[in-house]
């Protein structure tokens, strides 16, 4: 039929195959190809039924997401134009069986539901993940899915977008049969059976039994709305998705589709959707490193070792075991080893208790972890990740030792969060093999690794680190070496402003509340309490000699530490805690410390608005981010965005700090930064790159385009 869709015959059954690698997205030409194939097969009197199947590794993974940008930019019709094609499929007089392997997501599942029957291999996944892109299903998914699976399942799938494994989809009524063995052969046999039955093909749009009980529908919709409120703070699409599913229960099919289209457009043209689509492509873009060949040979990672089994080392060790990579787990004493291993076991057991891991899987993973007290077997390791205390002298001692006990081709990675990777590498005879792998806490949960290239890190080591990140189910983001790298260097500015604001008159709850409302997972001061205020306190002491004189420093955090208030771990920090309950409680004692500090420093306290809190903290991130970009420490603005979303709880629906600045308008951001410089001095000196982009009407997204290879 076309390059994208082929039509072949298996006896009296037509086989329509989609060939649009890598994921058979519904790019222009695919729906048209399916339509032409169905029409041709319908006309062919020798054909009794049809099978629609995906070529390659998957069925259709959804609409082509790139096309949405064209619609919102006005380069393409806002009507999706898919409905008439799906109607032809559904109204076809010959049975059409959809054969699913891989993923039937979004427009893929919607196409499948327009077919009369669906069969799938047991490993297949179906889902309506549109809300993760800030939109809702736009090809009648919200209308056909409740008809097949009922309102509760449909609302859950459309509002949260999680994939549903084929066996569960079978139970829910979304698919009709699981095919063990050859999918195409099974689907052809199924189509032949349906054709032979003589019954007219079953149309999803005509089915009403699962949506006919008004009382049940109301209960399910109310539960879905309550769930959305709880799980999808600030998000538009999940709410609209439930509204669209409700329309299926109240309106005839065609009117339901019209309602869905209206809600779909509300979402598609929202800032949230544009941001979330940026995030979808951003996650994939950061894996591509300009200057490193796509076919760069990788260092095979078959065995790993971790040095230091504390908070971070334990989590990193779990990552390797989770990926099926055997790992040596080294500590300095039996007691520390037992403690570290105990925490790992406890973490796995909690996952088993939640039903997300079987006992067998837990045992298999634990069997991959080998606790050791010596370096004797480190020759076996292809990579060693160091996670000892954050002290340069200790790190250098450990790396000098690693240099002796590992093979020369092994990668030596440090999990340092602030220290100079070049200096660490200088303790070895092979700086080309040394790199930073900065994980985020909890390392077994957080989905990001800031991969810090040293001046001498080799391309093979960098490329292997990026590929390894994916293998460990993380997103690797490559950055350059500087104090705090990208993430913590920017975060330092953000937290600095939060503390200044407290000194200038904002309450702690007001500061954290404004940023939480903005969408941050937690406010900056509550994050300090979670991470431990003593960490920054130690770092500040280590770097004190580097601080230029006469520059304002936040004072309160150090004073809290002097009083033993390290945060949650000591039951008190910026807030107090009724441990083991970790809910922050406002503490008048802290307010008193802040007021005294402000008075001593001669700071005049005043009323501060939420708007100022957001501008001071977020523009501090943006201004520093721009400097980092200009220095080449971050490769692209999207790298900063992904790091902040995955590592620092920045709301994905805002697209990350640099994308957010673009949506505010760089001129507006720049003008504010200049105003803050006048009020607060040189800490707010505008980044030349921010100035350049702002005054030339450009965006960080434009900047990124200049970096495309």
Strand partners, 118: 98
Q: Which part of the chain contacts ligand NAI (CB under 6 A), choosing from 119-127, 187-195, 255-263, 381-389?
A: 381-389
Which of 528/625 has CB closer to ligand NAI?
A: 528
Considering CB distances under 5 to 8 angstroms, the limit depending on partner class, which of ligand NAI, ligand 3HC, none binds residue 622? none
Considering CB distances under 5 to 8 angstroms, the limit depending on partner class, which of ligand 3HC, ligand NAI, none binds residue 250? none
Tokens 């606790």 -> residue: 371
Phi and psi at residue 270, to the nearest 5°: -80, 155
Q: Judged by CB under 6 A, does residue 23 bind ligand 3HC?
A: yes
Size of the site for ligand NAI (CB under 6 A): 24
Q: Are 273 and 135 in contact (CB under 8 A)?
A: yes
Q: State the greatest distance between any 2 C-alpha atoms of the chain, in Å, as a whole number.
A: 92
Among 78, 79, 284, 592, binds ligand 3HC (CB under 6 A): 284
Q: Judged by CB under 6 A, does residue 454 bind ligand 3HC?
A: no
Strand order in the sheet with 164-165: 103-105, 125-127, 164-165
Which of 49/313 has CB closer to ligand NAI?
A: 313
Q: Are 567 and 528 in contact (CB under 8 A)?
A: yes
Closest separation in Å from C-beta 280 to ligand 3HC = 7
Binding mask 123-152 for ligand 3HC (x = CB under 6 A): ------xx--x---xxx-x-----------
Cα 517 from chain centre: 20
Q: Judged by CB under 6 A, does residue 313 bind ligand NAI?
A: yes
Among 312, 461, 502, 634, binds ligand NAI (CB under 6 A): 312
- Report whether the peptide linkage leading into residue 167 is cis, meaning its omega lies within 30 degrees of zero: no
Considering CB distances under 5 to 8 angstroms, the limit depending on partner class, which of ligand NAI, ligand 3HC, none binds residue 468? none
Query: Could you confirm whether 624 is annotated as catalytic?
Result: no
Considering CB distances under 5 to 8 angstroms, the limit depending on partner class, which of ligand 3HC, ligand NAI, none binds residue 22? ligand 3HC
Q: Which part of the chain contacts ligand 3HC (CB under 6 A), choosing from 102-110, 172-180, 421-429, 616-624?
A: 102-110
Among 63, 236, 267, 527, binds ligand 3HC (CB under 6 A): 63
Considering CB distances under 5 to 8 angstroms, the limit depending on partner class, which of ligand 3HC, ligand NAI, none binds residue 36? none
Q: Judged by CB under 6 A, does residue 424 bind ligand NAI?
A: no
- Report whether the peptide linkage leading into residue 165 is cis, meaning its omega lies within 30 degrees of zero: no
Q: Count CB-CB contacts under 10 A for residue 22.
A: 9
Mapped onto helix, strand or coil, the DSSP state of residue 124 is coil
Considering CB distances under 5 to 8 angstroms, the limit depending on partner class, which of ligand NAI, ligand 3HC, none binds residue 134? none
Element (H, E) at 76: none
Q: Are 99 and 142 in contact (CB under 8 A)?
A: no
Query: Could you confirm whether 171 is annotated as catalytic?
Result: no
Tokens linked to 374: 């010596």
Q: Are 276 and 653 in contact (CB under 8 A)?
A: yes
Nearest to 140 by CA among 71, 207, 231: 207
Q: Judged by CB under 6 A, does residue 525 bind ligand 3HC?
A: no
Q: Judged by CB under 6 A, does residue 445 bind ligand NAI?
A: no
Among 185, 226, 332, 350, binds ligand NAI (CB under 6 A): 332
Nearest to 412 by CA among 430, 388, 438, 394: 430
Among 107, 573, 656, 686, binds ligand 3HC (CB under 6 A): 107
Q: Are 300 and 382 in contact (CB under 8 A)?
A: yes
Closest separation in Å from C-beta 570 to ligand NAI = 15
The catalytic position among 130, 450, 504, 615 is: 130
Among 17, 204, 406, 416, binds ligand NAI (CB under 6 A): 416
Tokens linked to 320: 């390797």
Q: Judged by CB under 6 A, does residue 548 bind ligand 3HC?
A: no
Q: What is the rounded distance in angstroms from the CA atom of residue 693 to the CA atom of residue 685?
A: 15
Q: What is the rounded distance in angstroms from the CA atom of residue 225 to the CA atom of residue 232?
A: 10
Computed from CA positions of residues 586, 592, 593, 597, in that sequence, does the dihedral angle turn out positive or negative? Answer: positive
Strand partners, 476: 449
Which of 494/703 has CB closer to ligand NAI?
A: 494
Q: Are 650 and 520 in contact (CB under 8 A)?
A: yes
The catalytic position among 90, 110, 246, 386 is: 110
Q: Judged by CB under 6 A, does residue 390 bind ligand NAI?
A: yes
**CA angle, 548 then 554 then 560, to 5°:** 130
Q: Are 286 and 477 in contact (CB under 8 A)?
A: yes
Which of 388/502 has CB closer to ligand NAI?
A: 388
Q: Judged by CB under 6 A, does residue 373 bind ligand NAI?
A: no
Nearest to 646 by CA among 450, 494, 357: 450
Gyration radius (Cα) of the chain, Å: 28
Closest separation in Å from C-beta 221 to ligand 3HC = 20
Which of 62/528 has CB closer to ligand NAI?
A: 528
Point out which residues bind ligand 3HC (CB under 6 A).
Answer: 22-23, 25, 61-66, 80, 103, 105-107, 110, 129-130, 133, 137-139, 141, 284
Point out which residues bind ligand NAI (CB under 6 A).
Answer: 307-313, 330-332, 336, 387-390, 398, 415-417, 438-441, 531
Catalytic positions, written as ranges: 110, 130
């Amino acid at each position: 039929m076309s390059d994208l869709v082929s039509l072949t015959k298996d006896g009296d059954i037509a086989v329509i195959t989609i060939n649009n690698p890598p994921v058979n997205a519904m790019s222009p030409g695919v729906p048209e190809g399916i339509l032409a194939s169905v029409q041709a097969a319908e006309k062919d009197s020798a054909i009794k039924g049809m099978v629609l199947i995906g070529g390659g590794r998957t069925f259709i993974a959804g609409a082509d997401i790139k096309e949405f940008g064209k619609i919102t930019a006005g380069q393409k019709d806002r009507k999706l134009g898919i409905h008439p094609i799906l109607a032809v499929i559904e109204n076809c007089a010959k049975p059409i069986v959809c054969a699913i392997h891989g993923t039937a997501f979004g427009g893929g599942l919607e196409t499948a539901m327009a077919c009369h029957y669906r069969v799938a291999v047991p490993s297949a996944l179906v889902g309506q993940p549109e809300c993760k892109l800030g939109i809702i299903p736009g090809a009648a998914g919200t209308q056909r899915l409740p008809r097949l699976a009922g309102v509760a399942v449909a609302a859950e799938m459309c509002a949260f977008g999680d994939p549903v494994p084929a066996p569960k989809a079978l139970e829910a009524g979304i698919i009709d049969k699981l095919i063990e063995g050859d999918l195409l052969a099974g689907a052809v046999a199924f189509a032949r059976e349906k054709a032979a039955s003589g019954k007219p093909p079953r149309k999803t749009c005509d089915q009403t039994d699962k949506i006919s009980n008004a009382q049940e529908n109301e209960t399910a919709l109310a539960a879905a709305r309550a769930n959305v409120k709880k799980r999808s703070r600030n998000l538009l699409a999940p709410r609209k998705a439930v509204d669209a599913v409700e329309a299926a229960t109240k309106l005839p099919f065609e009117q339901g589709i019209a309602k869905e289209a209206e809600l779909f457009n509300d979402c598609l043209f929202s800032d949230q959707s544009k941001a979330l689509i940026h995030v979808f492509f951003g996650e994939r873009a950061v894996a591509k490193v300009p200057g490193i060949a796509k076919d760069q040979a990788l260092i095979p990672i078959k065995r790993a070792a971790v040095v230091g089994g504390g908070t971070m080392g334990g989590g990193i060790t779990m990552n390797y075991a989770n990926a099926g990579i055997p790992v040596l787990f080294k500590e300095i004493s039996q007691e520390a080893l037992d403690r570290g291993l105990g925490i790992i076991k406890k973490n796995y057991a909690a996952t088993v208790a939640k039903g997300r891991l079987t006992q067998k899987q837990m045992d298999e993973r634990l069997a991959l972890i080998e606790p050791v007290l010596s370096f004797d077997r480190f020759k076996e390791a292809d990579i060693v990740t160091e996670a000892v205390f954050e002290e340069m002298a200790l790190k250098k001692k450990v790396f000098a030792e690693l240099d002796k006990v590992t093979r020369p081709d092994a990668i030596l990675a440090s999990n340092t969060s602030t220290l100079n990777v070049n200096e660490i590498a200088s303790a070895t005879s092979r700086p080309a093999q040394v790199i930073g792998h900065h994980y985020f806490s909890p390392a077994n949960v957080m989905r990001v690794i800031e991969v810090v290239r040293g001046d001498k890190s080799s391309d093979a080591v960098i490329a292997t680190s990026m590929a390894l990140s994916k293998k460990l189910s993380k997103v690797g983001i490559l950055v350059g070496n500087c104090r705090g790298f990208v993430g913590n260097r920017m975060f330092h500015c953000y937290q600095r402003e939060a503390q200044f604001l407290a000194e200038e008159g904002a309450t702690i709850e007001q500061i954290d509340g404004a940023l939480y409302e903005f969408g941050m997972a937690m406010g900056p001061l509550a994050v300090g309490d979670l991470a431990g205020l003593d960490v920054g306190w130690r770092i500040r002491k280590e770097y004190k000699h580097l601080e230029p004189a006469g520059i304002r420093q936040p004072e309160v955090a150090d004073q809290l530490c002097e009083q033993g208030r390290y945060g949650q771990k000591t039951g008190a920090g910026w807030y107090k805690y009724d441990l083991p309950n970790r809910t922050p409680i406002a503490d008048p004692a802290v307010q008193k410390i802040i007021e005294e500090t402000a008075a001593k420093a001669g700071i005049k306290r005043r009323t501060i608005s939420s708007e100022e809190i957001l501008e001071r903290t977020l523009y501090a991130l943006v201004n520093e981010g721009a400097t980092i970009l200009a220095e080449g420490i971050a490769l692209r603005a999207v790298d900063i965005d992904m790091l902040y979303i995955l590592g620092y709880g920045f709301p994905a629906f805002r697209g990350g700090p640099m994308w957010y600045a673009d949506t505010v308008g760089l001129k507006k951001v720049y003008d504010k930064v200049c105003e803050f410089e006048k009020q607060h001095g040189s800490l707010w000196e505008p980044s030349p790159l921010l100035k350049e982009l702002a005054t030339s009407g450009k965006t960080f997204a434009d900047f990124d385009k200049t970096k495309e290879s």
